[in-house]
Structure 1
Amino acid sequence: MHLMSFNRMSGQIRDKNYNHKAISAALDIGTDKVVCIIAKNRNFYESEKNSTIEIIGIGHNQSNGVKTGNIVDLNAAEDSIRIAIEAAEGMAGVTIDELIVNVSSNNIESAVYEVGVPIHNSQVNNNDIQRALHASYSQELDDDKSKIHTIPLGFSIDGIQGILDPIGMYGQRLNINMHIITTDTGPLRNLNLVVERAHAKISKMVVSPLASAVATLSLDEANLGTICIDMGAGCTSFCLFIDGMLKYADAIPIGGHDVTLDIAKQLSTPIIDAEKLKVLYGGVLSHVYETGDLINIPLVGDGEKQNLTQKVPKPIVADIVRPRVIEIFELIKERLDNISKSLCKDNRIILTGGMSQLTGVDELATQVFGGPVRRAVPRNFNNDININSPIFSTAVGLLIFAQNDNIVIKKSPKVKKIFKSGGYLSDISKWLRDSF
């Protein structure tokens, strides 16, 4: 069998049974925007040796009815999703029936389980691995939790770790390490419902930080150790790759929208104008602006009706933004430090998502985490449609997942009940059959 390393997730290595798809569609549902991307696999049509994805349609719309990645208004969210899908379909000239969708909730949880079985006849065969996998998939969860990903990380035999392929090896007990990512069941049901109401079907789900990582990390970065931070509007999610394997994923319920609200409150300006200020002057380093430079901003309340404005120095916006971004980075660092104090300083930091565009955010991240930092945009597919922006990282990562049928994403029995069609994710037997 094959472990789910980064090079398989990102499609850089494919199994012989890899199933090329003619058309794929991805839907990124965020707090600020909804993005739908439709792509054609040139390899499917032209029988090229190396698959090339060609984006043929993209639609995006302001997101309504979504808060911190969760659906809070079904009708508003349905309208936003339908508009984005229809725009992408109109550009592509196709109608899509199913798509891959992100899970951007701040309630994702990550844990690694080790499950073991005795080895029959002292030599590992396929049946031993199947029994170990079945045992790992049967891990019980709380009633309100559902599995999103179940990813094999590695094997051990009689305590010897780091075994990639145990077939044929001798020993008494075979253990498998499985990385299981879960979230609350209720939000998953609502996500499925709102997409169905928009006349589409979910084929797969992927947590946002993993999708963004697949779209932005290089193979070397995944192997050497990287923390990918997706700085979204509703929440900030992150994941950790070490030795090419996904070791941890998490999210905090603070994002770019909170920065906008900070600006609006502290400068008494309308939220829409606070968003503009964040985009235009929302760096985190006040020294990049001249202290004497002033900007006019409208006042909220009666001031809006009378077109009243106030003059404030440009650096004050950065002074408002900086504490919130520091809070986000320190919360991430705290969660990673709880695993190991060395994770932040020993691993590279990749920043993506809309708020990664803030001036100086990479320098601030270096100060907090202590390691090298770079800002990342999704990989270039050499298409006429421009997606060279960090706001598209999650959507592009979803598209890569949609093209990679050999990626292991396992649903739990509770999630099976949510998706009546059974098409959400491949079942255990198919995965076992295809992996050996």
Structure 2
Amino acid sequence: MILSKTKAITRRPFAVLDIGSSKICCMIGEADGAGGVRLLGHGTHASAGIRGGEVSELEALSTVIGKTVQAAERDAGISVTSVTAVAPGGTPFSSICKKSVKLSDAVVRRRDIDRLMARSDNGNIPENYQPMHLQTLQYGLDDVRGIADPRGMRGTNLSVDYTLVCGLRTSLANLSEALALNHLETDRFLHSAYASGLACLSAEERDLGSVIVDMGGGTTSIAIFMEGKLVYVDTIKIGGNRVTTDIARILSTPLADAERLKAIDGSVMPTDITGVAPDSLREVVRLGRSDNITIPALGTTTEVAGQTIERNLLSAIIRPRIEEILELLHGRMERARMEHTAGSRYVLTGGASQLTGLADLFAKQAKKSVGLGRPIGIAGLDEDSSGPGFAASIGALIHVSRIEENDPTDRQTRTLPHGPFERIGAWLRDNL
């Protein structure tokens, strides 16, 4: 008898929480019954207690999480007891792994896949790390590879190739603790760039090979998709906030004004009257253009006139930091031997991706096709919650809406319970 391949998708409402260094966003959604997901409510709050994707002050982070989740609950008209946590930090590590099992009989059944996925991954997990996300790439039966779903097929040995994403145990435990202080359980962790890829890349882009670059305030995360599957993730602890700090320090202006300068007047591709981009601050000053910006000096009020700078000086402050981010990302991919796997398509998203000229600089430096990604595929989004800064939250909703009931892959990356009663409950859920 061949087992049914009908997927049982969870229909009840679920919540995701994107924990970023600039903002924290909670979204509550539900599967719409037609393969999509509908947004029921959302809440957003400025971050506190987190820096570079890591918890820096637990109480402050817990307070902000509580306010964010409460705002989403009021908007949706329902309460939640658990969330899927989306995080760029935790010093993520990814690898492509393989494991196999001998079949109990000649026909592959669901229990064989469960047994295969339950096999220990200890040899693939670095010390002090724990699994965040696992995605199957392909199954194999004996010498046959490239099988999408082996159920009902015949063979002797069943194997699976999969991408394993792990995070530092201490980092993830502290994020879980911030949630627990608000009486929230952590269902699972997702890497933010993976989630953004689900929201911003079309199925064809993921199939042909694309790189999603999620630029947040405190981190920049990257995920590589190939043949529709996730094959690599990484994070560097530099984001848009570092650019803001550079502007504030060099120009001696308040951080709030530096952020406004970056968003409104900033660009990474400055040009002089000849159309040539300047290469240094000295060259910018020499140009003598009349395209000036007046900014308040540090310690002055808005009524007091500040200094006047040329617009190209601002660009020359911004560009080196963006080039550093590009170099670090490229270096990480080279060390992981993923630079050729990445394909020829880069898609930028995240709150810091809206900087003028960013896509042009990426295209020039990487010699790739570069586009700006906006999240799609969610019903109920308004203009305030549909920008690039919400890509990870929306992608997480898409991921959770597609999880099958008792999915063996999801069970293997479910957040490990801490207390004895939680461990007993987890064992009962998995075995009864």
Same fold by TM (over 0.5)? yes
Alpha-carbon offset, residue 322 of structure 1: 1.2
Is 1:125 the counterpart of 2:123 in the alignment? no
Matches within 5 A, 1:409-424: 409-411=410-412, 415-417=416-418, 421=422
Mapping of residues 51-90 of structure 1, within 5 Å:
51-90=35-74
Once the two structures are aligned, what percentage of the paired residues are identical? 28
Q: Which residue of 2 aligns with 1:217?
A: 201
Tell me the distance in 2 between the aligned counterparts of 1:251 and 1:200. Answer: 26
After superposing the two structures, state which structure 1 stretch, 111-120 or 366-375, moved more: 111-120
Partner of 1:16: 6
Shift of 1:178: 2.4
Asked if 2 retains the 8 angstrom alpha-carbon contact of 1:204 and 1:425, the reply is no
Deviation at 1:30, TM superposition (A): 0.5
Helix, strand or coil at the partner of 1:102: strand
Which of 345, 356, 365 aligns to 1:348? It is 345
Give the C-alpha shift of residue 305 in structure 1: 9.7
Q: 1:425 to 1:343 in 2, by over 3 A?
A: farther
Structure 1 position 249 matched with structure 2 position 239? no
**Superposed CA RMSD:** 3.1
Tell me the amino acid that sits aligned with residue 378 of structure 2: F
| Correspondent of 2:315 among 303, 314, 318 | 318
**In 1, are the aligned partners of 2:253 and 2:297 still within 8 Å (CA)?**
yes
Structure 2 unaligned spans of 5+: 276-288
Distance 2:80 2:113 in 1: 37
What secondary structure is seen at the aligned counterpart in 1 of 2:9? Answer: coil
AA of the residue aligned to 1:398: A
1:390 and 2:388 matched: yes
Alignment CA distance shift 1:418-1:331 (3 Å): farther
Q: What letter matches 1:125 in structure 2?
A: V
Any conservation in 2 of the 1:63–1:80 contact (CA below 8 Å)?
Answer: yes
1:4 maps to: none
Listed as ranges, the matches of 1:14-413 within 5 Å are 16-43=6-33, 50-105=34-89, 107-118=91-102, 123=106, 125-126=108-109, 129-135=113-119, 137=121, 139=123, 141-158=125-142, 160-166=144-150, 173-287=157-271, 291-301=289-299, 303=300, 307=304, 309-338=306-335, 339-344=337-342, 346-383=343-380, 385-386=382-383, 387-406=385-404, 408-411=409-412
Does 400-409 or 264-273 show the bigger shift? 400-409
Question: Separation in 2 of the partners of 1:304 and 1:424?
Answer: 58
Paired residue type of 1:37: M
| CA separation of 1:424 and 1:138: change in aligned 2, threshold 3 A | farther
CA distance in 2, matches of 1:18, 1:307: 64
SS at structure 2 position matched to 1:377: coil
Q: Secondary structure at the match of 1:343?
A: coil
Equivalent position SS for 1:22: coil
Report Cα offsets for 1:257-296 as digits up to 9, x if no partner: 1111111111111112111111112221112899321111
**CA–CA distance in 2 between the matches of 1:168 and 1:51?**
24
Partners in 1 of 2:183 and 2:207 — Cα distance?
40
Q: Secondary structure at the match of 1:415?
A: coil
Distance in 1, matches of 2:386 and 2:193, equals: 18
Flag the 1:172–1:100 CA change in 2: closer, same or farther, 3 A: closer
Question: What CA deviation, in whole Å up to 9, does each residue of 1:51-70 have, x standing for no partner?
Answer: 55332322111101001111
Which residue number corresponds to residue 278 of structure 2?
A: none
Residue pair 1:136, 1:178 contacting (<8 A) in 2 also: no
Give aligned pairs, total: 408
DSSP 3-state at the match of 1:395: helix
Distance 1:87 1:423 in 2: 32
Check whether the contact 2:188–2:414 (CA below 8 A) recurs between aligned residues.
no
Tell me the CA shift for residue 71 of structure 1: 1.2
Identify which range, 193-202 or 30-39, moves more after superposition: 193-202
1:361 Cα deviation after fit: 0.9
Match of 2:281 in 1: none
Structure 1 window deviating more from structure 2 (321-330 vs 407-416): it is 407-416
Tell me by how many angstroms 1:73 deviates. 0.6
- Structure 1 residues 190-236: Cα deviation after superposition (integer angstroms, max 9, x where no partner): 11111121232222221111111111110000100011110011111
Amino acid at match of 1:225: G
Letter in 1 for 2:346: I
Which structure 1 segments of 5+ residues have no match?
1-14, 44-49
Distance in 2 (alpha carbons) for counterparts of 1:170 and 1:399: 36
Aligned counterparts of 2:272 and 2:8: Cα–Cα separation in 1: 50
Q: How far apart are the structure 2 equivalents of 1:24 and 1:413?
A: 15
Residues 135 and 229 in structure 2, CA contact (< 8 A), matched pair in contact too: no
**1:381-421 CA-partner distances (Å, limit 9, x unpaired):** 34263222001101111222232222633446983437964
| CA positional deviation for 1:106 | 5.2
Q: TM-score, normalised by structure 1?
A: 0.84
Paired residue type of 2:290 = G
Q: Is the 8 A contact 2:36 2:401 kept in 1?
A: no
Q: Distance in 2 between matches of 1:22 and 1:158?
A: 39
